[in-house]
Amino acid sequence: MRMLLAFTCLTVLAPPSQAAGHLAEVLVIDRDSGVALRTYYHRGEYWVAGTPGARYAIQIRNTLHERLLAVTSVDGVNVLTGDSARFDQSGYVLEGEQSYEITGWRKSQAEVAVFEFAAAPNSYAARTGRLANIGVIGVAVFREQRPAQVASAPPAPAAPGESREKAEDSAQRSSVVPQAPPVAKLGTAHGAREQSAVEFTDFLRASSSPNEIVRIRYDSRENLLALGIIPRAAAPRWAPDPFPGSSLAHFVPDPPDL
């Protein structure tokens, strides 16, 4: 099956502890700063907070010494074809230990329309009549079939969280009181065109089911605060002072109007 080969390697990586996934580590990158958006782990799901109008990229790092196929979707839409996303569609092929940033909706082998956070009605999914899955990034990871390899049942998708993340999640939930989120949601727009070169390659999957599914949900910071996903900073505690004027050196002043 013909797939797109991502041949731009990155040399600077964000700390892997922030990434979602195991076979492939996935981060959401703020393209203006080049910094990975903080990933919050909450009730079994990864979340990031986006800013309307900000451009972002999906960084995928192959952690293995073999090729992987990453079938990638945004808001339930395949980022290469624009079709409603399925596991059996085209994706990006990453060489062993390669990292690649997907910066937009693929328009050709040389060009993409950039990913840009936007109000849900302005998202590409909404504008093409697909509102149901706005606010989620997905990467279905497939291992490659080797010569003379007998296909076997794939392992179950890896659990998305580690024990440390679960502990942080528990602590967050115990310290906040979730509120109803605002009505508005964040989606991904079909932004300006820019150059992004790829080439086709052949890739034979070891199985028809993904070896790993990475899912990252996103919304505005305000909505994530309202949902309790981002913990609110505790207000400083104020204690009354029994001698509030002790630092002032003066005598008793006259009362008013004297």
Q: Which of 75-89, 142-156, 243-257 has the highest mean pLDDT?
A: 75-89
3-state secondary structure of 82: coil
Confidence (pLDDT) at 179: 52
Would the pLDDT of 108 be above 50? yes
Confidence (pLDDT) at 14: 36
Backbone angles phi, psi at 165, to 5 degrees: -65, -40
3-state secondary structure of 16: helix
What is the percent of the chain with per-residue pLDDT over 90, rounded to a whole number?
A: 67
Task: State the pLDDT confidence band at 6, using cuts at 50, 70 and 90.
Answer: low
Confidence (pLDDT) at 239: 74
Q: How far is 220 from 226, CA to CA, in rounded Å? A: 10
Question: What digits encode the pLDDT tens for the residues 88-99?
Answer: 999 999 999 999
Confidence (pLDDT) at 76: 97
Q: Looking up tokens 């990155």, which residue turns up?
A: 10
Q: Looking up tokens 């605060």, which residue turns up?
A: 225
Would the pLDDT of 52 be above 70? yes
Question: Domain coordinates of the chain in residue numbers?
Answer: 2-227
CA 95 to chain centroid, in Å, comes to 22
Determine which of 120-134, 160-174, 217-231 has the lowest per-residue pLDDT on average: 160-174
Would the pLDDT of 170 be above 50? no
Task: State the pLDDT confidence band at 5, using cuts at 50, 70 and 90.
Answer: low
- Average model confidence (pLDDT) for the chain? 83
3-state secondary structure of 144: strand
Confidence (pLDDT) at 114: 98
Q: Where are the alpha helices (DSSP H) in the chain?
A: 124-127, 163-175, 221-227
The pLDDT of 67-84, averaged and rounded, is 97
CA dihedral 103, 5, 63, 135 (to 10 degrees): 30
Per the structure block, which two tokens stand in for 244?
A: 């509030």
190 with 79: CB under 8 angstroms? no
The pLDDT of 232-249, averaged and rounded, is 71
Determine which of 51-60, 117-126, 157-166 has the lowest per-residue pLDDT on average: 157-166
Question: What digits encode the pLDDT tens for the residues 178-204?
Answer: 555 554 599 999 999 999 999 999 999
Reported pTM: 0.75
